[in-house]
Amino acid sequence: MHLPRAVPRFEHRLAVRLRGMLPLYTRDVSEGGFCAEMLQPMKAGDLLEGALLLGDEEVPFQAQVMWARRSAGERTRGRCGVRFVTIGGDFQRRLGAFRRLQGRRLIRWFT
């Protein structure tokens, strides 16, 4: 059973740097966490420390893996869902500004 999300998710491919691991790339991001493609195995409950790259800015965070699924036939590749435990500074404002900037870029490209 899936519970309703507390905050909306937005599809953005952002780089995530993790201490001691290969970088991840998000599929979607929200104020509460993100879903990412993973190249190294993770398990639900794993604690992560790293930085989310929003444009030219790095936003440090600590998070917990809530779920992890391997891709069919793969030993390491898959997806994981991550919930922020702590996130640096004014992440809400930065994420909103980043999303608005992405929207402007798309509008300029289509006009």
Domain definitions of the chain by residue range: 15-110
Mean of all residue pLDDT scores within the chain: 81
Q: What is the pTM for the complete model shown?
A: 0.78
For domain 15-110, which CATH number applies: 2.170.190.11, 3.40.920.10, 2.40.10.220, 3.30.2020.30?
2.40.10.220
Query: Is the per-residue pLDDT at 109 higher than 80?
Result: no
* Per-residue buried b or exposed e for 70-108, using 16+ beta carbons within 10 Å of the residue's own CB: eeeeeeeebbbbbebeebeeebeebbeebeeeeeeeeee
Write the pLDDT tens digit of every residue in 37-47.
988 778 999 99
14 within 8 A of 52, measured Cβ to Cβ: yes
Identify the residue whose tokens are 């600590």. Answer: 62
